[in-house]
Amino acid sequence: MVALVLPRLVNPAGARRSASVAERNFTALRSAYWLVLLSGFLEPVLYLFSIGVGVGALVGDLTLTGGQVVSYAAFVAPAMLASSAMSGALSETTFNFFGKMKYMKLYDGVIATPVQPFEIALGELGWAMVRGSLYSAAFLVLMVGMDLTTAGRALAAFPAAVLVGFAFGALGMTVSTLMRSWQDFDLMGSAQFTLFLFSGTFVPAEAYPSVLRWVVELTPLYRSVHLIRGICVGGSGWSWLLDVAYLVALTVAMLALASRRMSRLLYK
């Protein structure tokens, strides 16, 4: 997979064509896009205040595996950041991507130009990351303002959140190429909500039974939450490297698979 993807990533002409795909999206949606961004940003903020702050007043402080004692809001906030990065990336690369590919037939016209399916996938992924990065930056400012992390840790957490968005964006595009109709997205929504609930988001993974815990720790959202929480509150040590390697591998594999699936669908 890496051998297939990396040469295309460093191709200047391909990068320009991918950028043109993202530019097209910006031009088409910029008039009302701020409303979409606002709605996507408010959801994790409401969860943070209702559960992190509200329920946190009942829960009290938590002791992490590394021995750090943190407030429940500080425990939940990094998970909301990871979930926000996931949701923003998936929104762009599932519903919007599927509609443009299957019903608008947008990409049928695009491939009549020199733009290739891989470059379409990369451009759409880049556009999705614009949305995800704005969510992440705004949420990190809120976390610093609420004293849930430090400014230095927030700066380090931002590229981690971007990586999370890339991983889920590539995963979302691959899933979209497998969808047959809008009804199939009900299954994806159920899977996404399950990840949101059972990825160490609101309780430590150690609280689950042993078998379920190992399943949870293999999921991409858990690795994302673990990475960002480790940066924001500290104490994860070298396990960050495992999280980063997992998310990079997922991004590369899903991007290659999505472009291959797109080639089959568009050139059939």
Only one residue has tokens 């591998």, namely 249
Only one residue has tokens 């991007």, namely 255
State the first-to-last Cα distance of the chain, in angstroms, to the nearest integer: 23
Supply the pLDDT for residue 153. 92
Return the closest-CA partner of residue 256 out of 170, 180, 185: 170
Contact in structure between 81 and 139 (CB atoms under 8 Å): yes
pTM of the model: 0.87
Q: Secondary structure of 25-40 in the HEC alphabet?
A: HHHHHCCCHHHHHHHH
Whether the per-residue pLDDT at 81 is higher than 50: the answer is yes
Helix (H) or strand (E) holding 159: helix 151-178
Helix (H) or strand (E) holding 72: helix 72-91
Q: How many C-beta atoms lie closer than 10 Å to residue 192's C-beta?
A: 18
For residues 214 and 205, give the distance between their C-alpha atoms in angstroms, rounded to a whole number. 9
Type of residue numbered 160: A
231-258 confidence digits (pLDDT tens): 998 765 677 889 999 999 999 999 889 8
Q: What is the mean pLDDT of residues 16-25?
A: 76
Q: Which residue has the higher pLDDT, 243 or 92?
A: 243
Q: Which residue has the higher pLDDT, 41 or 204?
A: 204
134-182 confidence digits (pLDDT tens): 888 888 999 999 999 999 999 999 999 999 999 999 999 999 998 888 8
Contact in structure between 122 and 4 (CB atoms under 8 Å): no
Q: What is the mean pLDDT of residues 218-234?
A: 92
Whether the per-residue pLDDT at 31 is higher than 60: the answer is no
Q: Grade residue 102 by pLDDT with cuts at 50, 70 and 90.
A: confident
pLDDT, mean over the chain: 83
Q: Which residue has the higher pLDDT, 8 or 143?
A: 143
